[in-house]
Chain A
């Protein structure tokens, strides 16, 4: 991939974004604390790349996705699409810009309207944005269904008539209707069986090439992440702990959490037994995160400084960023 050429062509910039959800108590709903779902996160998406985001449940990866498509308002920070700050523009402008970022959801059973035919689902965005004439729209629907590997005659069917893999294809077609530039995919293949998962991953890669799409691919499956991503961000308790190119991250992981995550993933490898790092304990609650480095309670190489100071995300190797006191 000609990444070096695209090096600084950022399509999406996320700068110091925070999202705190207030915790309220009592009859006057007094705020007693906050869940720091996303806590000071910055990263960029380069045009045409796939950024994989991995992390465990509750680490803030889905909140991040919702912040980017403006389904949630960030508490602080900027989110810029091609230089335009989505957190500061007017409602009308946001409406016009929104079509450039689309989302593919995890559960294809829950994210399609069961009462709508596939055609209605795919026509709706074009109606909302007043695109084309009636016949042009119908043509586009047939064309899209073809592109995602479904027969155009399926247009009149309802979601319940399809299998999980086919529904996810419809979800992808819906995301493509408005010719977006960026697609945020939140666990798009987690609900699918292995053989179908491979079909959908291949489809997403083909479409990326065809339409020059930029992907943010959220997943908890490291092997899927390694397969599809150009760069990978690892999140833990609302923060990015490591951000690097796929090769750097998987061949030379720096952060102890990344190491543990990679070694914990079960692998089909009937040959030799691997040395495994098994983390103790659970992920702490984001409502009451540990002091200092949020990972210090489970970290095998925790030092005194880790309990007091939060490490900043710094560039350790060219292109490889890590937030850990071991490398500061």
Chain B
């Protein structure tokens, strides 16, 4: 089982305390009515799905219940860093 570091509780806790929230840093459109169908498709459905480092949201649902972000390698499932919501991705990577 994966151990995940909650940046709010500042503890390594087992994965079953957390729920996964999908790819991180997907901004809601400022003016939804102005979006084309293609932009809607990208916002709703197109995902990075990388083989390698992936920025993603997690929620410490059975702990502090707060959302935070993490960077994890999708080949090894090893976390490189977790950080608070609103902070920029620390390693400078995209998607």
Instruction: State whether these chains interact.
Output: no
Q: Which residues of A contact B (CB under 8 A)?
A: none
